């Protein structure tokens, strides 16, 4: 097992060359899952039989002299809100258990399989993606493989923990307010939240339609870029998906003259010393000295908070009224409050989105990339009620995403890059203008090559 | 902002449903939080061209 490749690029290369079989890689990952997942609780279901069939099909292609694709034999997982053929999509809840089974895999999972990847299982999350800690009342908490006393972050916590611990080489998550970037930060891996509308969400269970993004998590920037290229492309099943051609990424250094700035104000004030140090390290490596303030960031966060509560409540209205007791109490109380929200502030939040987008556009007139911490601090302990931010104790579950929410609110693409920050990692957001994922990925790849970003696989 | 359990039930009744009494304190706390956030974005007035279109273009 020790000689088997690790990571999507290495696994796919070895499988395509016939140096190792997809089945051998899969069996190694299944063995690691069996050994570690009882403690981590990253998975809600292991699909071993299906995965073995897929791995064997990949090996049969190689044996026949055909190329299985750029992700040949790469084991991956999907967050529990992705459709998997023949299974009911639970989305971290028990509320959905009466729904029919999915008749197809989610489009993004199908694209990975078409590229040769092997689906291993579904992964734990906050109920309906409403949270930042993956402390799920129905399925239990996911533990952080860097320190199992701590939260893996959320809501894509199972996806991030499984990648960090090497249970799989890639995972698909979703990010409405920070649910890819927060767990990437706490678990010390890379995560991509693309531009709103870039990747189709077809076949995923929605949380907040106007804020939901789908995206990948990986242990390296190169893996992240590879999987992103396999995911791109329009799908008419998602009304918000832009009809744009794929824009393949490059791992070359960012072009000379790329202008990088540090986000100041809210993004500095609401971060602790570790988070600020992580940003300073990334800024130094990218030659960023300018500081930029988005004065409306706090209001953007408030507006995102409001929209989330009201829109998610609207989605759940019928089941909330009929079966409130089936919800995780933390989810239930927020959704019921959202059902009672007055119309005026909800409308104001929608309109504020336009205003804050224009503020960000002005910043991108002068800079190509903006840097900010992904989380205000490193991973809190499981059950820790508050985090210390800007001299105040703020509730953990609602505030771990205070630095990601303003950015996803206006749909900007972000690569979260992990940095060692003392005993625990913390990630920095590399934020680009709309549709410029490729530039953010180039910066992430440079940081990884320079030894500034990226951590070894966790060994819990 | 203080929101009482009675206010929660009154609003729910207006909206056509009822909330289990055991759930009302948690709902009241979250509604108070929501209204605090709403106050943050209440001013200044936005330009009339700031649109709330549900189809968002980043």
Overall pTM > 0.80: yes
Please give the residue of chain A at the shortest CA–CA distance from B38.
A345
> Is A159 a residue of the active site?
no
Question: Tokens in use for A459?
Answer: 């060994």
DSSP state letter for B46: P
Query: Within an 8 Å CB–CB cutoff, is residue A97 touching chain B?
Result: no
Which residue in B12, B37, B51 is closest to A306 by CB distance?
B37
Q: Please, are residues A376 and A389 in contact by the beta-carbon 8 Å criterion?
A: yes
Give the E-state strand segments of A335-451 in sequence order. Answer: 369-373, 386-389, 392-395, 414-421, 424-432
Q: Is the pLDDT of residue B51 over 80?
A: no
Catalytic member of A151, A159, A179, A185: A179
> Is A151 a residue of the active site?
no
A341–B34 CB contact, under 8 Å: yes
**Alpha carbon of B47: minimum distance to chain A alpha carbons (Å):** 8
**Alpha carbon of A7: minimum distance to chain B alpha carbons (Å):** 32
Question: Which pLDDT belongs to residue B46?
Answer: 87
At residue A133's C-alpha, the angle toward residues A345 and A297, to 5°, is 40
Q: What is the pLDDT of residues A193-206, one digit of tens each?
A: 999 999 999 999 99
Question: Which pLDDT belongs to residue B49?
Answer: 82
B31–A337 CB contact, under 8 Å: yes
Helical residues (DSSP H) of A177-249, grouped into ranges: 181-187, 221-231
B31–A341 CB contact, under 8 Å: yes
Question: Which pLDDT belongs to residue A3?
Answer: 79
Please give the residue of chain B at the shortest CA–CA distance from A409.
B58
- Show residues of chain B in contact with A303, CB under 8 Å: 37, 41
Question: Which pLDDT belongs to residue B53?
Answer: 64
> Is A79 a residue of the active site?
yes
Which of B11, B16, B27 should we substitute to test contact with A (largest number of A Cβ atoms within 10 Å)?
Answer: B27
Measure the CA–CA gap between A227 and A221, rounded to whole angstroms: 10
pLDDT band at B45; cut points 50, 70, 90: confident
Using 50 as the pLDDT threshold, list the residues of chain A that sit under it: 1-2
Place of tokens 């490059």: A250
Q: Is the pLDDT of residue B56 over 70?
A: no
- Show residues of chain A in contact with B4, CB under 8 Å: none
Counting one residue from chain A and one from chain B, the pairs whose CB atoms sit within 8 A come to 112
B11–A340 CB contact, under 8 Å: yes
Question: Which pLDDT belongs to residue B54?
Answer: 54
- Show residues of chain B in contact with A196, CB under 8 Å: 56, 58
In the three-class reduction of DSSP (H, G, I as helix; E, B as strand; rest coil), residue A215 is classed as strand
Place of tokens 């759940």: A316
pLDDT band at B55; cut points 50, 70, 90: low
Please give the residue of chain B at the shortest CA–CA distance from A353.
B52
């Amino acid at each position: 097992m020790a000689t088997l490749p690790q990571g999507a690029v290495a696994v796919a290369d070895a499988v395509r060359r016939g140096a190792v079989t997809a089945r051998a890689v899969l069996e190694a990952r299944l063995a690691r899952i069996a050994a570690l997942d009882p403690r981590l609780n990253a998975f809600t279901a292991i699909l071993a039989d299906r995965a073995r069939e897929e791995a064997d099909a990949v090996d049969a292609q190689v044996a026949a002299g055909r190329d299985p694709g750029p992700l040949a034999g790469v084991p991956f997982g999907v967050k529990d809100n992705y459709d998997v053929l023949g299974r009911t999509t639970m989305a971290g809840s028990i509320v959905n258990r009466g729904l029919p089974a999915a008749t197809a895999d989610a489009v993004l999972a199908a694209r990975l399989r078409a590229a040769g990847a092997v689906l291993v299982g579904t992964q734990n999350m906050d109920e309906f993606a409403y949270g930042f800690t993956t402390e799920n009342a129905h399925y239990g908490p996911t533990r952080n493989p860097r320190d199992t006393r701590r939260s893996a972050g959320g809501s894509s916590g199972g996806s991030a923990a499984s990648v960090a611990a090497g249970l799989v080489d890639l995972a698909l998550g979703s990010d409405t307010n920070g649910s890819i970037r927060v767990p990437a930060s706490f678990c010390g891996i890379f995560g991509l939240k693309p531009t709103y509308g870039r990747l189709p969400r077809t076949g995923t269970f929605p949380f907040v339609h106007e804020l939901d993004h789908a995206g990948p998590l990986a242990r390296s920037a190169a893996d992240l870029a590879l999987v992103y290229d396999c995911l791109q492309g329009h799908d008419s099943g998602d009304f918000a998906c832009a009809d744009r051609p794929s824009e393949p990424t490059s791992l070359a250094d960012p072009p000379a003259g790329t202008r990088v700035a540090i986000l100041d104000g809210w993004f500095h004030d609401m971060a602790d010393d570790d988070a600020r140090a992580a940003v300073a390290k990334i800024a130094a490596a990218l030659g960023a000295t300018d500081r930029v303030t988005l004065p409306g960031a706090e209001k953007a966060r408030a507006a995102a908070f409001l929209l989330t509560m009201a829109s998610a409540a609207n989605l759940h209205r019928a089941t909330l009224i009929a079966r409130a007791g089936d919800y995780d109490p933390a989810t239930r109380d927020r959704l019921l409050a959202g059902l009672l929200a007055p119309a005026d502030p909800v409308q104001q939040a929608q309109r504020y989105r336009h205003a804050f987008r224009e503020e960000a556009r002005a910043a991108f007139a002068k800079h190509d990339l903006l840097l900010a911490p992904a989380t205000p601090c490193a991973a809190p302990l499981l059950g820790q009620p508050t985090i210390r931010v800007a001299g105040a104790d703020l509730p953990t579950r609602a505030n771990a995403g205070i630095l990601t929410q303003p950015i996803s609110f206006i749909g900007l693409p972000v690569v979260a890059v992990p940095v060692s920050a003392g005993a625990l990692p913390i990630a920095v957001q590399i934020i680009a203008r709309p549709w410029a994922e490729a530039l953010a990925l180039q910066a992430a790849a440079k940081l990884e090559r320079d030894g500034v970003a990226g951590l070894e696989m966790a060994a819990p | 902002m203080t929101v009482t359990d009675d206010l929660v039930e009154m609003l729910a009744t207006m909206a056509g449903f009822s909330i289990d009494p055991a759930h009302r304190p948690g709902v009241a706390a979250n509604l108070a939080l929501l209204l605090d956030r709403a106050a943050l974005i209440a001013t200044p007035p936005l330009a009339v061209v700031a649109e709330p279109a549900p189809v968002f273009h980043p």
